[in-house]
Structure 1
Amino acid sequence: MLFIGERVRLRKLSSEDAGTYHEWRNDLEVMHYTSPSLDVFTLADTESFITSIAESTTSKSYIIEEIKTGKPIGITSLINIDFTNRNAECIIDIGDKDYWSKGFGREAFQLLLEFAFKELNLHKVVLRVFSFNERAIKLYQKLSFEEEGRLKEQLYRNGAWHDVVLMGLLKRKYKRNS
């Protein structure tokens, strides 16, 4: 399945993406903002992880590509999809730091939300974000996500405790061009 925006497209994650995803997954600066664990992964770990996602019936993961160059710049996913209650958790990582703070993540996330709400007919999507990731929180708020709770001092990073912010978005509150 292919999703196309103005500057990015989403394509299904495949085993051929293991090398690129492996680089992002082992970039501590990238993972600082998204992963609760700053472990280093082997290529075999990454390949196994991609296989588990591809075979899962409750997740859908997509590589974010810049249209102009065809270059993979990140990954976005719906995970823990609950088709009975019509909800899922969503994630996004812009793995190529040259694309940070330039609107590519927003465009990719909008494509994922369009799919979640219009194609899968989900009622709600949720996400988790570290409290120090102000850039991401601002993006999610612009997309109409609302804070629903906090896991207090859930993450220890750089010698300090940080909250994990839980945010949610109901289908009826999502605005495509917000």
Structure 2
Amino acid sequence: MFENKNIKLRKLSTSDYATYHDWRNDIEVMKTTSPQLDIYTLEETEQFISMIASQSASKGYMIEHKETGKTVGIVSLINIDYKNRSAECIIDIGARDMWGKGIGTEAMSLILEFAFNELNLHRVYLKVFSFNERAIKLYEKMGFIHEGKFRQALYRTGKWHDIVIMSILKNEYNQ
């Protein structure tokens, strides 16, 4: 369930802060996923990872590339609402040399399989910046539907951008 031919997911731990810190301070990595572009201290990142790892309403996993053994990203279900069987999904591929190699698709497939078949969720949603066309195409290919947007909610590179809201229901997920 937590691995396929190319990647495996392992539970996020507090010791992952150093790896995540490198990605979190790489503006090129964060510009398409983080609403707040900033430079963080190692202590701030350690506190952030500790908070995520300890929350009961989230499931965070580091993405490891099996061939190289390298940790290449993070995928998580956050804001898990067990009563209404819904969660938000977030993903970052932090290792730039792994961009465009299908890692995001594989990680999303694994986390959706977990969400729908193990946690028995009904709905998984995400937010994506309107200029992140590559991610939007990936989500559409996986069966996510556009639900709406937060209009001009993000100011980036001197312009206003929408934040697109997409979701997939369990019966729409093609395993």
TM range (shorter): over 0.9
Say which SS state the counterpart of residue 74 (structure 1) adopts. strand
Mark the runs of 5 or more structure 1 residues left unpaired by the alignment. none
Say which SS state the counterpart of residue 3 (structure 1) adopts. coil
How many equivalent residue pairs?
A: 175
Say which SS state the counterpart of residue 16 (structure 2) adopts. helix
Mark the runs of 5 or more structure 2 residues left unpaired by the alignment. none
Instruction: Kindly indicate whether residue 145 of structure 2 is the aligned counterpart of residue 116 of structure 1.
Output: no
Q: Which residue of 1 aligns with 2:85?
A: 86
Q: Which residue of 1 aligns with 2:155?
A: 156
CA distance in structure 1 between the partners assigned to 2:125 and 2:39 by the alignment: 27
Q: Which residue of 2 aligns with 1:61?
A: 60
1:69 CA displacement? 1.5
Q: Which residue of 2 aligns with 1:9?
A: 8
Say which SS state the counterpart of residue 132 (structure 1) adopts. coil
CA-atom RMSD, angstroms? Answer: 0.8
Q: Which residue of 1 aligns with 2:49?
A: 50
1:126 CA displacement? 0.3
Amino acid of the structure 1 residue aligned with 2:138 = L
Within a 5 Å distance, the mapping from 1:129-148 to structure 2 comes to 129-148=128-147
1:124 CA displacement? 0.1
CA distance in structure 2 between the partners assigned to 1:152 and 1:31 by the alignment: 20
Say which SS state the counterpart of residue 120 (structure 2) adopts. coil
CA distance in structure 1 between the partners assigned to 2:36 and 2:52 by the alignment: 19
1:162 CA displacement? 0.3
Indicate conservation of the 8 Å contact 1:76/1:108, yes or no: yes
Say which SS state the counterpart of residue 137 (structure 2) adopts. helix
Indicate conservation of the 8 Å contact 1:25/1:41, yes or no: yes
Amino acid of the structure 1 residue aligned with 2:58 = S
1:50 CA displacement? 1.0
TM-score scaled by structure 2? 0.98
1:39 CA displacement? 1.2
CA distance in structure 1 between the partners assigned to 2:12 and 2:24 by the alignment: 14
1:17 CA displacement? 1.1
Amino acid of the structure 1 residue aligned with 2:87 = A
TM-score scaled by structure 1? 0.97
Deviates more, 1:123-132 or 1:40-49: 40-49
Q: 1:108-145 CA distances to partner (integer Å, 9 max, x unpaired)?
A: 11000000000000000000000000000000001100
Q: 1:57-109 CA distances to partner (integer Å, 9 max, x unpaired)?
A: 10010000001111000000000000000000001000001111110110011
CA distance in structure 2 between the partners assigned to 1:113 and 1:50 by the alignment: 22
